[in-house]
Every structure is written in structure tokens, then in C-alpha cells.
């Protein structure tokens, strides 16, 4: 393949936007009206076929204030997910925007009551919960889509297209992860910092995106074994730069999730996955993502992959007539609408009887790697990953 052909192969990835039939409205609710719920409500407000009917939050008055802030009227308010689902009988869809520790109970309760679910990432905290969610999905026959919006980003789609084109040959090694130097998140409180709300730290917040990026590109092979490491030297230190700069040194006392994690994972198909993620470290980056194949290699610039934003092009390392060459794949100029598409894709699937956009059958492997890293780190040796068949 000549260099220009390589570039042309990944053009025209943008899709036509469809007309939305607003004659029948879907009844939608939001469970958990914190930070990410803001992105959900912004997108729902753009959908002419959505009627926002209810919101719930454990914190008294929070859902009411949220609705007011976003100018949403005629919604009912509830004290938690059960209260909302028990009282709203004709719901079509809920967005579960709660912290990680309540993902499973909210998703299972909604599915068991016949309601389709957009579940924020990470899927949940433990493999037991992941299995319970998948069982509920199966019994209900409803749609459950996990909230990885980068799947809809044009640059992220290019990665999968490049790998799936076969031009890299057999993939045998992947390095991914990345992270931040000073980036433990607490813009809206401490729900990311504690076991009782977050359950998992940097892996649940940003690591799961890096894993999804590469696993989705290579077709979500099953993870087989993992050697994992986790630490929290920064989050537990009152002198951590992020605390000192914001006057939150007291957060060091409550921090009890991981702020750094690494895993060496064997995947089905003889692929090695070398992964690390950081909320805080004494380094600028843990490196770019690289996907090595027998015919070519793909370099993906280290990025905050929650929004798919790269500031440098992808680079393919390959050979032409015996000469090693490097081909840059230009960044997409398509306007970003990943979060809109994450929600739209579920609404369309409900209306058209389509397939779930981001399926639990894939994301359970993502969860299994996170869970495996935590378990392996606890006992200090490699473990076999067991993924329940559901
Ligand atoms: N997709 C993204 O880009 C993105 C970005 C940030 C966060 N997230 C994910 O979204 C989730 C929420 O994060 P956040 O930053 O909005 O957290 P947050 O703490 O700001 O908000 C969570 C809210 O859920 C409420 N809640 C918890 N359990 C509930 C229940 N059973 N019923 C009703 N309300 C309940 C809490 O009271 C809280 O107000 C996390 O899982 C996080 O990983 C996704």
C-alpha cells in the first residue's frame, strides 16, 4: 500500500446525521445528579424525541437544584433509584450516573423492572457485580449500554479501522495507559477518592478508557492471566501537589483507592497487554499507546482518552518495498459529538429494536482486567482471570 493510499483508507469516517422522528417520545430519567449527569442532561435536551420525566439523588434537594440549573421542568424527584423506578411505571430509559459503588444495584433494579439502561463507566466495581448486571440484562431482554463515549469519536474509530483493516498483520503486543502527573479528581467533592463511593480509583476513572480503546480495536479478546500492581503514595500524602494547591490536604486522610496501577496481561490470541495508569506521578506520561503487529505498528499519542482528543496524529510504522516508512494519519476535522452519539445510539436502538451499542459482553473483559490487577496486587503474584459465562 502506498503512503497516500494508507491515508485515503481512513478518510470519510463521518456518518450522515439522521432525521429524528419525534412523533413518539421516549420517557427518560436520570439516577444520580452529580458531575457527569450534567453531560447527560445537556445531550437529552437536544433530543426532540425525549421527555425527561424524573430524577433521583441520595442527597436531599440535589436533583431539584440540578433540574433548575438546567432549566428542566415538569420532572418528578425521588430519593434514590428504587423510589424512582417503583413510581415511574412507563420509563423507557434511565441514565445511571451514580458513583461506581452503586452502578450495579441501580442497573440491576432498572433492568429487572423492564427499563433500558445507559450505565456510566466503569461498568461497576467487582466481577461479581458485573455478572449480576449481565444476568439482569439477559433476564430482562432490555438494552444495557456502557458509557464509553470515545467509541463514537472519529479519531478513536480510526484506530479500530486501522487495526481491523489487517494492515498491521498479526497483533502480538500492546502498550497502553498513560495518565496524569497531578490529576486526582475532586472538582465536585470526594466521591472519586473513597472505597465506599468509587471502589476503584485511577483504573475506574481513566484506565478503563485506555483499555477500551485498545481492546475494542483488536476485537475484545478474552483476558487470561494478569500480574498487577496498585499503589496510592500520592492520594494518601497531605503534601501531594493537587491537595496543597487547592487547600485540600485533609483529603489525604480519606483517600483509600489506587492512584496508580499497572498490569501485564495475557489475552486470548497470544497478545500481550502492558498497561499502566496514573492519577499522580513524578513523570509527565507513562508513554504513548503502541500496537505492534507483524506487518506494521500503530502509535497513538498519549492522551486523556475520555474524549478521544489527540493533539498529534496517529502514526503507522510499516514497510514499502523493503523500506521502513512512517505514515501519519491526519487528525479528524469532523466536529466532536461523541457524548451526543453515546446517548443517541441507545435511543435509536430502543426505537428501532437495534443492538446494544456498547455491550456488557465486551466490557466485562475490561472489568475483569481491572479486577484481576487488584486481586493480583493483593497477593503479589500472577493470577488466572476467570470470566463467568452468562
Ligand atoms: N463518561 C464520562 O466522561 C465520565 C466523566 C466523569 C464521571 N463519569 C462516571 O460517572 C459516575 C458518576 O461520577 P460523578 O463525577 O458524576 O459523581 P458524583 O459524585 O458527582 O455524582 C454521583 C451522584 O450519584 C448519587 N447517587 C449515588 N447512588 C445513588 C442512588 N442509588 N440513587 C440516586 N442517586 C445516587 C450521589 O448522591 C451523587 O450525587 C462515575 O461512575 C464516573 O466514573 C463518567
C-alpha 229/C-alpha 257 separation (Å) is 13
> DSSP label at 282?
S
- Please report the DSSP string for 318-341 in residue order: EEETTEEEEEEEPPP-SPP-HHHH
Q: What pLDDT is attached to residue 157?
A: 92
C-alpha 150/C-alpha 209 separation (Å) is 8
For residues 149-176, give the mean pLDDT: 95
Kindly state the helix (H) or strand (E) to which residue 229 belongs, with its residue range: strand 223-231
Residue nearest (by alpha carbon) to ligand 1 atom 14: 35
The pTM of this model reads 0.95
Residue nearest (by alpha carbon) to ligand 1 atom 36: 32
Q: How far is the CA of 198 from the centre of ligand 1 (A)?
A: 9
Give the helix ranges, DSSP H, for the chain.
3-8, 35-44, 62-69, 81-87, 103-112, 127-140, 154-164, 202, 208-217, 241-246, 251-254, 338-352, 360-379
Q: What pLDDT is attached to residue 1?
A: 42
Q: Say how far residue 47 (Cα) sits from the centre of its chain.
A: 22
Residues 6+ apart with CB under 8 A from 311: 301, 303
Grid coordinates in use for 104? Answer: 450495579
Residue 288: pLDDT over 50:
yes
Q: How much of the chain, in percent, has pLDDT values that exceed 70?
A: 94
More confident: 15 or 275: 275
More confident: 255 or 332: 255
Could you read off the pLDDT of 186-239 as tens digits, one per residue?
988 999 999 999 999 999 999 999 999 999 999 999 999 999 999 999 999 999
The response to whether residue 155 sits with its C-beta less than 6 Å from ligand 1 reads no
C-alpha 127/C-alpha 97 separation (Å) is 20
> DSSP label at 102?
G
Q: What pLDDT is attached to residue 326?
A: 98
Neighbours of 165 (CB within 10 A): 13
Neighbours of 271 (CB within 10 A): 22
For residues 9-30, give the mean pLDDT: 74
Q: What pLDDT is attached to residue 141?
A: 97
> DSSP label at 387?
-
> DSSP label at 221?
P
| Three-state SS at 87 | helix
Residue 303: pLDDT over 80:
no
Sort strands 323-329 and 271-278 into parallel, antiparallel or unpaired: unpaired
Angle in degrees, 0-180, between the axes of helices 338-352 and 35-44, rounded to the nearest 10: 60
The response to whether residue 152 sits with its C-beta less than 6 Å from ligand 1 reads no
C-alpha 60/C-alpha 294 separation (Å) is 57
Grid coordinates in use for 386? Answer: 476467570
Q: Say how far residue 117 (Cα) sits from the centre of its chain.
A: 15
Could you read off the pLDDT of 349-358 as tens digits, one per residue?
999 999 999 9
Atom of ligand 1 nearest to the CA of 78: 33
Q: What pLDDT is attached to residue 334?
A: 75
Measured at the alpha carbon of residue 251, what is the angle toward residues 247 and 253, in degrees to the nearest 5? Answer: 135
Q: What pLDDT is attached to residue 285?
A: 87
Q: What pLDDT is attached to residue 13?
A: 41
Cα first-last separation, the chain: 42
Range picked from 17-26, 36-45, 279-288 for highest mean pLDDT: 36-45
Q: What pLDDT is attached to residue 307?
A: 57
Q: pLDDT class for 176, splitting at 50, 70, 90?
A: very high
The response to whether residue 158 sits with its C-beta less than 6 Å from ligand 1 reads no
Residue 369: pLDDT over 80:
yes
Q: What pLDDT is attached to residue 14?
A: 42
Residue nearest (by alpha carbon) to ligand 1 atom 19: 191
Q: How much of the chain, in percent, has pLDDT values that exceed 90?
A: 86
* Domains, in order of start, for the chain: 26-149+340-356 (3.40.50.720), 151-335+368-383 (3.30.360.10)
Q: What pLDDT is attached to residue 308?
A: 59
Could you read off the pLDDT of 108-138 as tens digits, one per residue?
999 999 999 999 999 999 999 999 999 999 9
CB 227 within 8 A of CB 370: no
| Three-state SS at 315 | strand
Residue nearest (by alpha carbon) to ligand 1 atom 3: 306
Amino acid at each position: 500500500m502506498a503512503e497516500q493510499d494508507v491515508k485515503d483508507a481512513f478518510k470519510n469516517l463521518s456518518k450522515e446525521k439522521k432525521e429524528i422522528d419525534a412523533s413518539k417520545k421516549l420517557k427518560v430519567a436520570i439516577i444520580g445528579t452529580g458531575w457527569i449527569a450534567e453531560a447527560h442532561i445537556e445531550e437529552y435536551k437536544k433530543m426532540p424525541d425525549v421527555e425527561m420525566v424524573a430524577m433521583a439523588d441520595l442527597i436531599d434537594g440535589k436533583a431539584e437544584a440540578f433540574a433548575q440549573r438546567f432549566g428542566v421542568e415538569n420532572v418528578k424527584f425521588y430519593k434514590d433509584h428504587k423510589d424512582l423506578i417503583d413510581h415511574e411505571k412507563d420509563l423507557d430509559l434511565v441514565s445511571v450516573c451514580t458513583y461506581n459503588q452503586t452502578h450495579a444495584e441501580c442497573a440491576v433494579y432498572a433492568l429487572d423492572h423492564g427499563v433500558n439502561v445507559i450505565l456510566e463507566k466503569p461498568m461497576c466495581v467487582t466481577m461479581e457485580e458485573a455478572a449480576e448486571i449481565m444476568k439482569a440484562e439477559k433476564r430482562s431482554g432490555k438494552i444495557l449500554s456502557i458509557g464509553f463515549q470515545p467509541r463514537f469519536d472519529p479519531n478513536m474509530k480510526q484506530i479500530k479501522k486501522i487495526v481491523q483493516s489487517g494492515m498491521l498483520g498479526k497483533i502480538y503486543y500492546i502498550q497502553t495507559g498513560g495518565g496524569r502527573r497531578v490529576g486526582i479528581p475532586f472538582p465536585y467533592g470526594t466521591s472519586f477518592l473513597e472505597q465506599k463511593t468509587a471502589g476503584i480509583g485511577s483504573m475506574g476513572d481513566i484506565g478503563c478508557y485506555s483499555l477500551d480503546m485498545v481492546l475494542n480495536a483488536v476485537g475484545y479478546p478474552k483476558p487470561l492471566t494478569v500480574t498487577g500492581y496498585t499503589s496510592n503514595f500520592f492520594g494518601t500524602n497531605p503534601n501531594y501537589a493537587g491537595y496543597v494547591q487547592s487547600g485540600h490536604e485533609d483529603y489525604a486522610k480519606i483517600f483509600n483507592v489506587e492512584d496508580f496501577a499497572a498490569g501485564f496481561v495475557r489475552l486470548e490470541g497470544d497478545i500481550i497487554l502492558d498497561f499502566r495508569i496514573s492519577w499522580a506521578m513524578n513523570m509527565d506520561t507513562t508513554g504513548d499507546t503502541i500496537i505492534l503487529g507483524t506487518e506494521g505498528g500503530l502509535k497513538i499519542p498519549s492522551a486523556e482518552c475520555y474524549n478521544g482528543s489527540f493533539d498529534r496524529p496517529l502514526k503507522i510504522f510499516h514497510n514499502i518495498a523493503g523500506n521502513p516508512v512512517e505514515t501519519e494519519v491526519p487528525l479528524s476535522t469532523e466536529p466532536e459529538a461523541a457524548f451526543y452519539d453515546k446517548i443517541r445510539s441507545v435511543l435509536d436502538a430502543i426505537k428501532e429494536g437495534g443492538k446494544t451499542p456498547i455491550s456488557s459482553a465486551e466490557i466485562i473483559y475490561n472489568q475483569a482486567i481491572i479486577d484481576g490487577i487488584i486481586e493480583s496486587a493483593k497477593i503479589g503474584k500472577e493470577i488466572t482471570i476467570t470470566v463467568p459465562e452468562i
